[in-house]
């Protein structure tokens, strides 16, 4: 079927939607439709010499679209993805709505891109922290056989959207002016000059929903149904890019040189040798993830500790979705 609009972005005014629009236009795509909330109707963007206008979301919106990206909440995806599928769109969903559905592939192209060979009509994009973590762990899993891992995440405020960014800026300015206490809405406590060890809702297990994603999504993506994972997710006062400290245990004895070579050979990874270390600032606005601080773990049998930083708006969301579209979308 000929379709006059190759792509559509639902949630186009959000941070991820905006990054996706930049990626598509940079790739030379001109047939793109944008949709967002009622409050954003008619909003326009000047990009690459063209004006892009936000439209109303409706069933008609999808009728001439080949690939639809969903960059809004899971509730928006649950309502509108089925409608887009009915219209014949291939849907790439960045929310958590379909990640655990057995029939929906959860894909990182560098890891399980073979799942796209059957041209599924709906593909789920993984959680940003899980995605960045597995970019570092997968080459090591291939080399040594992953048994379990512990992860502590250090997550930027832009993971909570524009409100998170604004709250950090406002609180820094308020503190500099001597105002206290700092008001907060986006997070459960003031974020400026602070660290908040809770992201998402708390579950009965004591873990948060963000931490549970690391367990369940890692199992699905790696195909390791009994993989054991323990995660603590922490919000920190930086604007962009997440970092994860990982201690992992493997089936085989770790050779540090082999581990480094496996990572260097992996697509989408940049390895930094000491004394250089990857930082969120250094890997902001980049599509690669930086891996460093590799060392034999002193507490685990066949253990390796490492640090990974990656831009959660790009490789953790928009760029991964863009990669999926290159394999699935119109040529």
Q: Do domains 5-126+318-328 and 130-313 have the same CATH topology?
A: no
pLDDT higher than threshold 80 for residue 1: no
pTM over cut 0.85: yes
Domain ranges in the chain are 5-126+318-328, 130-313
DSSP string computed for 118-175: T--SEEEPPPHHHHHHHHHHHHHHHHH-EEEEEEEEEE-GGGGHHHHHHHHHHHHHHH
Q: What is the pLDDT of residues 220-265, one digit of tens each?
A: 999 999 999 999 999 999 999 999 999 999 999 999 999 999 999 9
Known active-site residue 204 = no
- From the list 71, 91, 128, 289, the catalytic residue is 128
- From the list 91, 233, 242, 289, the catalytic residue is 242
Q: What is the pLDDT of residues 275-292, one digit of tens each?
A: 999 999 999 999 999 999
Which of these CATH numbers, 3.40.640.10, 3.40.50.720, 3.40.50.300, 3.20.20.70, describes 5-126+318-328? 3.40.50.720
pLDDT at position 43: 80
Q: Which residues of 216-237 are buried (b: 16+ CB within 10 A; e: fewer)?
A: bbbbbbbebeebebebbbebbb
For residue 201, name the pLDDT band (cuts at 50, 70, 90).
very high
Known active-site residue 2 = no
Top-tier CATH class for 130-313: alpha beta
- How far is the CA of 102 from the CAs of 98, 105, 122, 217, in angstroms? 9, 8, 12, 12
For residues 96 and 75, the answer to whether their CB atoms sit within 8 Å is no
């Amino acid at each position: 079927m000929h379709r006059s609009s190759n792509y559509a972005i639902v949630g186009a005014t959000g941070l991820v939607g905006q990054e996706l629009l930049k990626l598509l236009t940079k790739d030379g795509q001109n047939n793109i439709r944008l949709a967002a909330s009622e409050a954003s109707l008619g909003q326009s963007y000047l990009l690459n010499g063209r004006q892009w206008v936000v439209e109303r979301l409706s069933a008609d919106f999808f009728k001439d679209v080949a690939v639809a990206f969903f960059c809004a909440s899971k509730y928006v995806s649950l309502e509108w993805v089925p409608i887009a599928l009915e219209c014949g769109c291939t849907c790439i969903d960045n929310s958590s709505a379909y990640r655990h559905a057995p029939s929906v592939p959860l894909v990182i192209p560098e890891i399980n891109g073979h799942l796209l060979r059957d041209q599924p009509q709906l593909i789920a994009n993984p959680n940003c922290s899980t995605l960045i973590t597995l970019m570092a762990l997968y080459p090591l899993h291939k080399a040594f056989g992953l048994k379990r891992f512990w992860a502590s995440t250090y997550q930027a405020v832009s993971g909570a959207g524009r409100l998170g960014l604004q709250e950090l800026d406002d609180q820094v300015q308020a503190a500099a002016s001597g105002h206290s206490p700092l008001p907060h809405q986006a997070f459960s406590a003031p974020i400026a000059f602070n660290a908040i060890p809770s992201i998402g809702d708390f579950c009965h297990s004591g873990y948060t929903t963000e931490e549970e994603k690391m367990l369940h999504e890692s199992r699905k993506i790696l195909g390791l149904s009994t993989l054991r994972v323990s995660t603590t997710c922490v919000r920190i006062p930086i604007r962009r890019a997440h970092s994860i400290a990982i201690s992992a245990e493997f089936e085989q004895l770790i050779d540090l040189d082999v581990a480094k070579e496996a990572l260097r050979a992996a697509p989408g990874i940049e390895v930094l040798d000491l004394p250089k270390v990857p930082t969120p600032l250094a890997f902001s606005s980049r599509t690669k993830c930086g891996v460093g601080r590799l060392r034999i773990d002193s507490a685990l049998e066949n253990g390796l500790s490492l640090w990974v930083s990656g831009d959660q708006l790009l490789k953790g969301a928009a760029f991964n979705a863009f990669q999926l579209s290159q394999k699935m979308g119109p040529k």
